[in-house]
A = this chain, B = another copy of it.
Amino acid sequence: AAMAGCGWARAVRGLLLDVSGVLYDSGADGGVPIAGSAEAVRRIKASGLKLQLCTNETQATRENFVRKLRAMGFDISVAEVTAPAPAACHLLRERGLRPHLLVHDDLVPEFAEVDKTNPNCVVLGDAAENFTYENLNEAFRLLIGMEKPILISLGKGRYYKETDGLKLDVGAYMKALEYACDVQAEVVGKPAKRFFESALAELGVPPEQAIMIGDDIVNDVGGAQQCGMRALQVRTGKFRPSDEKHPEVRPDAYVNNLAEAVDIILQHL
């Protein structure tokens, strides 16, 4: 019923999945899998559909992120994860940029191969405890001292929930630096079109044959649709009933969770 009339689902060859709020809920001890999601990932793979995770996670390297997912029972490899930090490294190399990093300690190894001497841009991630007054002033001074300040932000989320409460996400700090320096950040990560395009390239499927499944109405659903994909919103994670009346974004369908999405998609094949 959720996808009645969705004839387009017959053409699907690959799925892009958001991770937090779709595969697991972040919380104590790193997170709790959402019921049926690990089994759903196995069924996707068994069906022959291609699968790629498309996440804005920037608090860990992909290797550590995948280790956490595998420990929760998800059959996922590093190559199946598209994340902002590797995409940023690609962009930095392409443009000869040398970043000053204001990111989480656990993300730093992603930038090991990148020249960071004499920085000519700032890369901002969800730095969490590294968002100190001193570190913010340091990133600001570097930016304002550049002839043409370049600020690259790994996502633009407003906030997220952890077990000890809501936390400001990277987008809030991005706005602070944008205002202080009178610049506009370049966002790497969802909902940037280029980021979805690189996930699709890794998936090996054109947008009209791919479905994005996410819990974030704007960054997952809206972003994917802008790239020509169909997109489903799950009613898990940060989903709120008010999302179903969103003024700008309307998913191609709602599903209760990833398991239900996979049930329906596989029925249509």
| CB of A42 within 8 Å of the partner chain | no
Chain B residues lying within 8 Å of A136, measured Cβ to Cβ, are 131, 168
Overall SS of chain A's interface: helix
Q: Which of A20-28, A45-53, A91-99, A169-177 contacts B (4 or more CB under 8 A)?
A: A169-177
Chain B residues lying within 8 Å of A141, measured Cβ to Cβ, are 165-166
Pairwise interchain contact B179-A171, C-beta atoms closer than 8 A? yes
Chain A 84-113 near chain B by CB (<8 Å), digits 1 or 0? 000000000000000000000000000000
With contacts A132-B132, A159-B144 known, is A166 near B137, CB below 8 A? yes
Chain B residues lying within 8 Å of A180, measured Cβ to Cβ, are 158-159, 168-169, 171-172
| CB of A8 within 8 Å of the partner chain | no
Pairwise interchain contact A172-B179, C-beta atoms closer than 8 A? yes
Q: Which residue on chain B has the smallest CB distance to residue A128?
A: B133
Bound state CA distance, A178 and B176, in angstroms?
10
Chain B residues lying within 8 Å of A181, measured Cβ to Cβ, are 158
Pairwise interchain contact A166-B140, C-beta atoms closer than 8 A? yes
| CB of A248 within 8 Å of the partner chain | no
Chain A 148-188 near chain B by CB (<8 Å), digits 1 or 0? 00000000001100000111110111011111111000000
Query: In whole Å, how far is A184's beta carbon from the nearest beta carbon of chain B?
Result: 13
Bound state CA distance, A67 and B126, in angstroms?
42
| CB of A29 within 8 Å of the partner chain | no
| CB of A129 within 8 Å of the partner chain | yes
A/B interface sample: 7 pairs, CB < 8 A: A128-B133, A129-B133, A131-B133, A137-B165, A137-B166, A168-B180, A172-B180
User: Which residue of the partner chain, among B128, B140, B172, contacts A176 with CB atoms under 8 Å?
Assistant: B172
